[in-house]
Structure 1
Amino acid sequence: MAIEETIPRGLKLHNLGGIEVVAGRYRDHVLPRHSHDGLMLSLLSDGVQALHCRGVTHFADAGKILAVPPHEVHAAEPGVEGGWYYHTITIPSDVLERHHPQGARFLCETAICDDDMKRVLQTLFRSLNGAPVLAQEEALLDVLEHFLTRHTRLPQRASHKPIELRAVETCKAYLAAYLHRNVTLTELAQLARIDRFLLVRCFTAIVGMPPHAWHMQQRLHRSFEMLSKGQCVADVAAATGFADQAHLTRAFKRVTGITPGRLRKDHLAFQSQPATSPPRITWPLPGL
């Protein structure tokens, strides 16, 4: 399959610690501001991606790597006509915490030109097309070793007041517990015992987005998790607070470039493979 023809596809690989893999062509899609509960590494195979992160726009073309640490808010759009094609992997924070002294708390280079890093990423992606599980696990560890030792640094100490940090953590826990319904700012302010305007300001400063945007992101993350286990789209929409299947589909595709139905179908195909065979991604990965 030619790179030009590939639509974005994605899988959550529960057998590899829940890493998420997405690959495909984003021709004219703009990915809005969002973050991941994990390290995102993207290997560009064609075109140019413009990644907006920490107030800087980074442009990456074929052969370059883009990296975003856990919980770092970013956005992306095509850097040239025709967009970009990439393979991207998101490694969950709990996996990072088992392999890094500072866990998932680090800063990193955003645009990386490193032939060794490119090689180990390519090896990992290729292993997902049918290599034994042991080889896939070793390839993942190789990626972590190369990246964490070469391209990360410790963050500066946070300057936020303890009361603000506690308020934000309290609100995040509450929002995460109520993904199925709308939550008001008054509820959050009363729960955190902080002024509403101050809450929005400190939440946005600490998290990188306001409470409503973070709540929507968590609802979409939960949707991805449920779809990856084969649950039907309508049930997922109801469980994560969307008015209906169409509402979920619009929101999900806006942030991922993939429809919920396509994601669920790919996971069902992945899960239906014989248990005696190594798990393999069931769609082509051109450009590697």
Structure 2
Amino acid sequence: MKEAIEQADDRGIERLCKKRERFVAAPTGPGIERIEALFYGNMFTPHRHDTYALGITLQGVQTFNYRGEFRASNPGNIIILHPDELHDGGAGTEDGLQYRMLYLEPALLRSGLDHEADPLPFVGEPVIQDPVLWSIMASALGELESDMDPLLRDQFVSDIARRLSLHAKAPLKRPRFTASQSMDQVRAFLEDNFDRPVQSDELEQVAGMDRFRLIRHFRARFGTTPYRYLMMRRLQKARALMMVGQPLAGIAAETGFADQSHFNRHFRQTYGVSPGRWAELFARNNL
């Protein structure tokens, strides 16, 4: 009888934890996303973004595997994850984890560098202590319920770019010549055509160079490949539709995926959870 009561208590605690789990998303702006997450256990399977992911741990221990090593972040630390780097994520203790995350597109971060042609800063250590950068991050992530003031956005992008450059020990690898204008045109073409199959010869015509050279230059400028960039635009649109309650069944076709399984696979590879789980966590915050 005692064992049955203990098991019932455990299930009650588990239900309470699940009820408290939530994601909160701020209004999006050009090149930027902000979220807060509260959860228990190992939430995210290995996945990768095409943005810089910059976070502050608020409560608990934030654990993840990154670049072949297990990492942990405590409250007061800053997490810096680079574009296209595989990582997972979870709560390191039974008390759960609460953190806020800022996702910056490389093109936006580049605009904050002293020279736009400079290589993207690469910070080798993903968990750092920097009170100045923490204060900047806290300002950017302070009010998720409202739009960010445009002047504040420009200020913190510049400040973040400067602090990351100070911490960077080596730039991201890039070819000698990055064909900035051509790559910006390729990026614009992908954004305009995200919901249909795009062929390599189309991008060759836009950029005026062969597809393999194009891929190298695009990665150097934006931290990811044209294919990954296209997939992310589709997934961003899918998430926007999910957050307004559109059924998952129709989202795959509307956002350019071949079918539902194709959409599910790419969503999990990018965000570490299934589309259904993601929608559930965001919906729970609005109950």
TM-score of Structure 1 vs Structure 2, range by shorter chain: 0.5 to 0.7
Contact 1:12 1:228 in 2 (8 A): no
Query: Relative to structure 1, is the Cα distance of residues 167 and 266 closer, same or farther in structure 2, using a 3 angstrom cutoff?
Result: same
Q: Which residue of 2 is the match for residue 199 of structure 1?
A: 214
Query: Relative to structure 1, is the Cα distance of residues 213 and 152 closer, same or farther in structure 2, using a 3 angstrom cutoff?
Result: closer
Match of 1:41 among 39, 55, 75: 55
Q: CA–CA distance in 2 between the matches of 1:203 and 1:15?
A: 24
Query: Relative to structure 1, is the Cα distance of residues 119 and 165 closer, same or farther in structure 2, using a 3 angstrom cutoff?
Result: closer
TM-score normalised over the length of structure 1: 0.63
Deviations 1:21-69 (A, max 9, x none): 1423462844333222x663141722532333xxx96823333320347
Q: Which residue of 2 is the match for residue 221 of structure 1?
A: 236
Equivalent position amino acid for 1:188 in 2:
L
Gaps of 5+ in 1: 270-280, 284-288
Deviations 1:181-218 (A, max 9, x none): 21111221122221122112222333333221221122
Q: Which residue of 1 is the match for residue 25 of structure 2?
A: 12
Between 101-110 and 205-214, report the one with greater CA deviation.
Answer: 101-110
Q: Which residue of 1 is the match for residue 84 of structure 2?
A: 73
1:240 paired to 2:249:
no
Between 203-212 and 166-175, report the one with greater CA deviation.
Answer: 203-212
Deviations 1:62-85 (A, max 9, x none): 33320347xx43321369998994
Q: CA–CA distance in 1 between the matches of 2:139 and 2:211?
A: 49
**CA RMSD after TM alignment:** 4.8
Q: CA–CA distance in 2 between the matches of 1:81 and 1:8?
A: 15
SS in 2 for 1:183: coil
Q: Which residue of 1 is the match for residue 226 of structure 2?
A: 211
Query: Relative to structure 1, is the Cα distance of residues 19 and 185 closer, same or farther in structure 2, using a 3 angstrom cutoff?
Result: closer
Higher Cα Rg, which structure: 2
Gaps of 5+ in 2: 1-12
Deviations 1:90-124 (A, max 9, x none): 2566xx89xx7969997485422257876997899
Q: CA–CA distance in 2 between the matches of 1:46 and 1:9?
A: 17
Aligned 1:55-134 pairs, distance under 5 A: 59-63=71-75, 64-68=77-81, 72-77=83-88, 85-90=97-102, 107=121, 110-114=126-130
Q: CA–CA distance in 2 between the matches of 1:264 and 1:28?
A: 14
Contact 1:39 1:68 in 2 (8 A): yes
Query: Relative to structure 1, is the Cα distance of residues 205 and 127 closer, same or farther in structure 2, using a 3 angstrom cutoff?
Result: closer
Contact 1:222 1:240 in 2 (8 A): yes
Q: Which residue of 1 is the match for residue 9 of structure 2?
A: none
Query: Relative to structure 1, is the Cα distance of residues 231 and 8 closer, same or farther in structure 2, using a 3 angstrom cutoff?
Result: same
Q: CA–CA distance in 1 between the matches of 2:188 and 2:161?
A: 32
Between 212-221 and 238-247, report the one with greater CA deviation.
Answer: 238-247
Q: CA–CA distance in 2 between the matches of 1:33 and 1:21?
A: 16
Deviations 1:261-282 (A, max 9, x none): 344455456xxxxxxxxxxx45
How many residues were matched structurally? 254
Contact 2:41 2:91 in 1 (8 A): no
Contact 2:44 2:89 in 1 (8 A): yes
Percent identity for Structure 1 against Structure 2? 21
Q: CA–CA distance in 1 between the matches of 2:184 and 2:28?
A: 30
Q: Which residue of 2 is the match for residue 274 of structure 1?
A: none
TM-score normalised over the length of structure 2: 0.63
